[in-house]
Structure 1
């Protein structure tokens, strides 16, 4: 049971810790955000990417496997390497064109595809302060190739939000690359500063990403800090690991001081309800 709880907590680690007195994330999400228009459910973004043919072929061909992450004797000592490269492109979204935009492939295992790759788009990576519509730094386009309906992601996020779980904003986009119709994508908000500010009373906590990570003593190094990267302190991760390793009531009491147990159980139940298994 300890390992099962630990595995599910791994999916929850990307949310900063919060106190039980914090306002509901659902109420906070209702606050106006200048970029809300780009995630309206009744809007399908029209995205066009112009990129060199050789660059596009290189981008599509990049991949990673379990061996890339778990290979080597020190594979659990550090976060998984990000092997996807950024490529320069011209990107047009609903008629608004930006040059020198960074585009790269994303995904792992079931979502990787050469024919229809999932993509990350960064407007400000090569050009400082370049923003889509003056408000948005990035777009994330998921191919949802394991979901023929294309609606599971946004529908599930809606259910999670209604239950008080912080969730990314989500809608859809059509994509053309060098004039070729790539079809429909799910457009998902990246878990970044704007998301934290909208959902947490204190957005300055540590944000972690875990790729094949778990709350085990010898796996602690696999968690990658996405905020406060200037310090290597991971005492918050260690506190969760130590609490989970203690089978006594003291361990559970310590865990309750770190994790919002009620909200986590709600999250866990919804994971089962929607059949979530791979991001």
Structure 2
């Protein structure tokens, strides 16, 4: 069993993590291109995964925190890999992952902080730095499975690289905290056709991540897709956790997650924890898929930003379309949106709890010297824009779904 107490302390928002990396080939890593170049999505072929980067090795990595693990601990020969695609790609401040589990110190690191893997996001697309930790906190408050994260200050070979978001990885610790079992089937979705379009995981848009056998297609996504295709929203109620999906859709809408699943068919994990290996091939009774938000670094933006739409309920996912056409399901979704708008984003919450959360993050980021990568805004101006969007959430939602 994973020690969640250590993970909670390590990812606490007031624990500023410091990573000191020594790596002779850092320039090779930051300038690296994915296999096959940038024209490929992540897709598995007979010669390996195209669209993914190659693992390299950092000679040493020192970890410490301002509140937890205050005495630095150093580990040698740590596997490291560049990550990110599209707009977050960078050769000066690359996002990257560390996997201590691939080295000799994995068990020690896991005992110290609760995980063997670290994911560091560069915030290239979020000059405010706060959208991921703040947004995931809100998803969690809404009862939607969400990642823990905080901030990390990174130096490489003694040079300051900048402040990153230190994001919990989509691995066993996350699954154990949020679901009935960590042995379900997990998938990452990127610009995929919707469930109900006879979706399978061999189309290059849905990657099989999970257990028990990462080499096998368990077929549960295909079962869900064909059930929805044949039975519509009634079928969706059999193969999706609809209570969770309504919450997920409501929060994606409220936070204006334009690059998420309901609005873009992107940046989402699917997880089936309902005994997925019971039968082969699986039956409908073995499928109950949950939705996990990801890639939320562009939420809570001004609608004028790059022509993004104002608050609306995303309709690219066919199940959302079906719900909007069905009076009872539409009412349930609208009721959930109203509930969150009036509770999570009430004037009292916005001026109290949510303001305090953003104040704390801004204080930590300012002290750490966080600097926006590609924005004319200062850090404080960028965060002020997020604050303004938070103030507008409730009224924007009520304007669309009504007050009652």
TM-score range, shorter chain: 0.7 to 0.9
Question: SS at 2:97's partner residue?
Answer: strand
State TM-score, norm by structure 1: 0.78
- In the TM superposition, residue 130 of structure 1 has moved relative to its aligned partner by 4.1
Q: Which runs of 5+ in 2 are unaligned?
A: 65-71, 260-294, 296-404
Closer, same or farther: CA 122–76 of 1 in aligned 2, 3 Å:
closer
Closer, same or farther: CA 32–128 of 1 in aligned 2, 3 Å:
closer
Q: How does 1:90-109 map to 2 (within 5 A)?
A: 90-94=60-64, 95-109=72-86
Which is greater in Rg? 2
Alpha-carbon separation, structure 2, partners of 1:158 and 1:119? 22
Q: Which residue of 1 aligns with 2:53?
A: 84
Closer, same or farther: CA 207–220 of 1 in aligned 2, 3 Å:
closer
Q: Say which is worse superposed, 254-263 or 223-232, in terms of deviation.
A: 223-232
Partner of residue 31 from structure 2, selected from 61, 64, 67? 61
CA deviations 1:8-62 (Å, max 9, x no partner) are xxxxxxxxxxxxxxxxxxxxxxx9533222101111001111000xx21111112
- In the TM superposition, residue 129 of structure 1 has moved relative to its aligned partner by 3.6
Partner of residue 147 from structure 1, selected from 114, 126, 130? 126
Alpha-carbon separation, structure 1, partners of 2:38 and 2:199? 18
Partner of residue 201 from structure 1, selected from 161, 174, 180? 180
Closer, same or farther: CA 162–251 of 1 in aligned 2, 3 Å:
same
Q: Which residue of 1 aligns with 2:256?
A: 275
Runs of 4+ in 1 over 4 A off after TM superposition: 75-80
- In the TM superposition, residue 196 of structure 1 has moved relative to its aligned partner by 0.7
Question: SS at 1:201's partner residue?
Answer: coil
Q: How does 1:74-223 map to 2 (within 5 A)?
A: 81-89=50-58, 90-94=60-64, 95-127=72-104, 129-132=106-109, 133=112, 135-215=114-194, 216-217=197-198, 220-221=201-202, 222=204, 223=206
- What's the Cα RMSD here? 2.4
Contact 1:77–1:219 (8 Å) recurs in 2? no
Q: Say which is worse superposed, 211-220 or 196-205, in terms of deviation.
A: 211-220
Structure ranking higher in helix proportion: 2
Q: Which residue of 1 aligns with 2:224?
A: 240
Alpha-carbon separation, structure 2, partners of 1:66 and 1:267? 31
Closer, same or farther: CA 85–76 of 1 in aligned 2, 3 Å:
closer
Q: Which runs of 5+ in 1 are unaligned?
A: 1-30
Contact 2:4–2:114 (8 Å) recurs in 1? no
